[in-house]
Amino acid sequence: MTDLLSKFDPLIQQRDDLLSSGLTDPFALVMEKVESPTVAICNGRRTILLGTYNYMGMTFDPDVVAAGKQALDEFGSGTTGSRVLNGTYVGHKAVEEALKDFYAMDHAMVFSTGYQANLGIISTIAGKEDYIILDIDSHASIYDGCALGNAQIVPFRHNDIEALEKRLKRLPPEAGKLVILEGVYSMLGDVAPLKEMVAVCKAAGAMVLVDEAHSMGFIGERGRGVAEAQGVIDDVDFIIGTFSKSVGTVGGFCVSNPPKFEILRLVCRPYVFTASLPPSVVATAATSIRKLMDSADKRAHLWENSKRLHAGLRQLGFKLGTDEPQSAIIAVLMPDLETGAAMWEALLDEGLYVNLARPPATPAGMTLLRCSLCALHTNEQVGEILGMFAAAGRATGCIS
Ligand SMILES: Cc1ncc(COP(=O)(O)O)c(C=O)c1O
């Protein structure tokens, strides 16, 4: 018998080497209790959460929790069915209405995760004769959506407007083209130049899909994302998003204006061939999305938090993923995986949780400590976080 798992031997070795020094496994943390969007108990101690993507802190919102409980009582624990069979309840229609209102768009289609939304929409709309032109730093779910479909894939250099234009110009003018961009790129927290890129796409006759997973709720005047902030939301053909970040639950969606959009409900396999979200989940999502429309104060506070943390970390001597804070993600660059893991553990010992990110998820082989801020982090917590970075950074030799 050929051991099919032997292909993972190098990774198993790397993991064993890392843990042989007694280091805590950074990819196996258990949250023993979650007290709020910003605090949990991990390894028996109070830990500030700075790596949850819970940007708007909706997970413990009383209205959101109440809506989930009511739906659980009234509709039961799950739908046990696909959206196109027995899995569409009034709650699924209600969350799609909330999304249409939130984005002021004509159509909304809800999937069981954001991953499946990318998988489904990308593989369904771009066919055999079509081209997908995508930023090379795109999220795994975008690449997997491409792999599931039959279109030809044309990557271009990250956030490079000229490279995008050049690629588009080389393609047959009559061919179907889908350009895929993200509002905020989740590894470094940098924002796409959507205004310029969307203009280039329109000039080349390409349709545009923007994944706003990390900007929904926070960026843009009404929280509609980078496309709203840069004034191009009406030129974007498809927006993909998730309920697993600012919305505070689980699920994914696509909103769109083209009138033929609704046909996708019948042909999109990751929508048809899977069970729909539980009633409690769609009820929490709908309540949360409607509250996010009027959350300008929280958005302003989250910007303040991001700016303060970015400036503070820089002042301490850490290298960061962006020169200026561009989103609620602040990436701290580590020299290698060993130092990154040691720093991650030192922060956890201080009482702070951040995400350790490493290749292949990261661009250019980087090891990163990714911080994602929450609108509910208090000024005191941001101060505590900076103190913890200072202590852990000195203990591990990351800063002097
Ligand atoms: C850019 C991007 N798109 C899509 C997703 C998938 O979202 P979900 O967690 O809902 O599957 C993520 C999740 O990390 C993401 O970062």
Beta-sheet pairing, 207-211 with 238-242: parallel
Beta carbons within 8 Å of 211's beta carbon, 6+ residues apart: 118, 138, 139, 142, 180, 181, 182, 183, 239, 240, 241
Q: Is 186 in the pocket of ligand 1 (CB under 6 A)?
A: yes
**Does the pLDDT value for residue 390 go beyond 90?**
yes
Q: Is 114 in the pocket of ligand 1 (CB under 6 A)?
A: yes
Residues 22-49 have a mean pLDDT of 94
Residues 303-308 have a mean pLDDT of 98
CA 139 to centroid of ligand 1, rounded, Å? 7
Residues 206-210 have a mean pLDDT of 98
Question: Residue 241 and residue 103: Cα distance in Å, rounded?
Answer: 11
Contact call for residues 354 and 369 (beta carbons, < 8 A):
yes
**Does the pLDDT value for residue 294 go beyond 90?**
yes
Question: What pLDDT is stored for residue 361 in this prediction?
Answer: 84
Helices (H), 230-377: 264-267, 269-272, 279-293, 296-316, 337-350
Q: Is 115 in the pocket of ligand 1 (CB under 6 A)?
A: yes
CA 141 to centroid of ligand 1, rounded, Å? 7
Q: How far is CA 340 from the centre of its chain?
A: 22
Question: What pLDDT is stored for residue 188 in this prediction?
Answer: 96
Q: Is 182 in the pocket of ligand 1 (CB under 6 A)?
A: yes
Q: Which domains are present in the chain?
A: 18-56+296-395 (3.90.1150.10), 62-292 (3.40.640.10)
Ramachandran assignment for 118, one of left (phi > 0), alpha (psi -120 to 50 degrees), beta (any other):
alpha
**Across all residues in the chain, what is the average pLDDT?**
97
- The upper half-sphere exposure of residue 314, i.e. CA atoms within 13 Å in the direction of its Cβ, equals 13
**Does the pLDDT value for residue 24 go beyond 90?**
no
Does pTM surpass 0.75? yes
Please tell me the total number of residues recorded for the chain in this structure. Answer: 400
Residues 100-123 have a mean pLDDT of 98
- 3-class SS at 216? coil
